[in-house]
Structure 1
């Protein structure tokens, strides 16, 4: 059995939106504001499994915590400049645990608010 390559970019935003129970347009808006990892070397923007954790964190900050794009950029800058990769991954694990506790209904209620 082959191992998964979590760094290989294979998922479009529409698939990620379905995984996060949100609209593709919402994620496209975050992408347009420069909140996602850069994908300049591709003609079609695809994201990796590892990118999904990052995208889910951005979506959590915007939709649940109601932080605007500038605030999210500042938070991401702090994470990238003050945390090594292991600490950042540990932090994202904690956030992912919190995201799992939020029900799909809660997310839809927030999106429709």
Structure 2
């Protein structure tokens, strides 16, 4: 815990390094100071089939969406700062991508289960 899930249009694999994007996101999460770096889990998921809601010629088919899942208990200011840090990281790592978004989601401690190594 926490989780950073980076969703992206698969076409981006031809344009940028996805492992570098994941590493940048992991670093931004770590540098936020909100989490133990060894607890952060970052992964990326490509999407081949999607609609971005634009229906005009010349519309981009490139996107990145990051979902940050954290346990409840952070202030609004901390969540805003985390969202901004991840957003800035993604924009810097992928300047050619016109559609970038970040969402921070809180998970309730009571409903979160996790298996840990012995």
Higher relative strand content: 2
TM normalised by structure 2 equals 0.27
Structure index of larger Rg: 2
Higher relative helix content: 1
